[in-house]
Amino acid sequence: MQDFDDIYAHVPADIPAWIEGLSLAMTIDGADADPVALVDVIHACDEQVIAQSPDAGLHHVDQAVDAARAAFPAWAGAPWTERRNLLETFADRLWDARVTLALLIAAEAGRPLRRAMSEIFFAVDYVRTIAAQELAETRYELGPMRARLTHKPLGVVGAIAPWNGPVILAVAKIANALLAGDTQILRPSPFTPLSALYMGMIARDIFPRGVFNVITGDAQVGAAMTTHPRIAKISFTGSTATGRLIAAAAAPTLKRLTLELGGNDAAIVLPDANIDLLCDAVYRISLENAGQFCACVKRLYVHETVYDAVVKGLGERLRAARPGSCFDAATTMTPIQNRKQFERVWHLIDDAVDRGGAILCGAQRHGGAGLFVPPTLVGNVDHGVALVDEEQFGPVLPLIPFRDEEAALRDANRGEMGLGGSIWTADVEHGLRLAERMECGTAWVNQHGAFSAALPMPFAKQSGIGTDYAQFGVAEHSRMMLVNARL
């Protein structure tokens, strides 16, 4: 992670007043769109209102579609290099605005400011990496026939982004669609609208009017986008349950879909694993960010010979976590972003204990303000307990000892989700062989959640539809066309 300690010198004395001074607005056809109302944005570190966000009505969906459709022919006809260059300019402008964007993420998501700044760093890299992708033409010669396969833009694309990565999970959707030649309507999560609104305002001076639009709103707005007959595709990141609803709603219009859904990733720790490497990674990826990452370790299968060492190593790291204001450099613990999810995480902990689970570390209720759940390890649980069977999306990790690696692999492959998984071992070749047998879209050896926009992100089981990132994410925002001539 980059060293962004100097970011704390930029924290305004009055955050709500500073946000109000930004005059954040929805972007439709390159201009402000008047909201139907203002809605409160709650700061997870203290549950106080930190800002008010414009709220869209259903008519804003139609307005945004009209603007995007009007802009589509010229944008689709623009040279690939022109679209690429504008995306690179967008990345430059995001980096120039990194302090503002990081402060907005911290405010709306409650994330410690250093981690918020890290999200901007990776988001800018994602835009630049995706902008560099190509969709090559394929030529065929079959006797007297000469054919070529090309990629054509789809039209208007709807993007629905989640609250756990309000910038990085939005910009990948933006870059994929705009590079492919589509125009786009982005609807951020109603929990974290601020950074997306600001990105929309940045984009006005870069892209032609109507190419990129940002509207806010609740599930009704998302549903209107999903069923809209003039939106050609929906790209969604969120829960599997919501993904099922989107797939069903999109079926009557046969929309293209890219769905990055839930994960219940398993990690298998073999006897020869590097325990320090494992514990550092699990804490950083799965617990420090309060488990609010789709592809983090959510089930930890540990060989019985190293089980105690793993509990000890993780416990040392967990006990050092510090809750507090996200604008304080001493804070390392991230709160749960919203109260509904906060209550669900505690329910999973209480349910596990009621079913015989043992708290190995954590689980003390935070006495101060904010939606903090201390990083928690739970032992003596197995399949049949909700904490193991379901995606917790919180800083609570079940540790399950095993003796036989084949049995551990079978247990890791249980369930309906298949986003990611990992094997931890000093024998990398053996780890690779086991990883290839994991039923997931991405399997790692001696790492977890290590993504790059230069690498594809496939999905398995009910963790998603389609493939994201690299040239595959761009291709999913296009349609193939074959032109065939007889000589």
User: So which residues are the catalytic ones?
Assistant: 260, 294
Matching residue, tokens 């994991």:
438
> Within 13 Å of residue 384, how many CA atoms lie on the same side as its CB?
7
Burial zone of 386 (CB within 10 Å; 0-12 exposed, 13-18 middle, 19+ buried): middle
Rounded to whole angstroms, how far apart are CA atoms 263 and 296? 8
Residue among 337, 256, 289, 253 nearest 50 (CA) = 337
Check: CB of residue 410 under 8 Å from CB of residue 392: no
Check: CB of residue 275 under 8 Å from CB of residue 306: yes
149's CB contacts (< 8 A; 6+ apart) are 137, 138, 139, 140, 480, 481, 482
Check: CB of residue 370 under 8 Å from CB of residue 42: no
Rounded to whole angstroms, how far apart are CA atoms 102 and 97? 9
Assign residue 60 a region (left: φ > 0; alpha: ψ between -120 and 50; beta: otherwise). alpha
Rounded to whole angstroms, how far apart are CA atoms 300 and 275? 13
Phi, psi angle pair for 164, to nearest 5° = -85, -15
Point out which residues pair with 158 in neighbouring strands.
185, 234
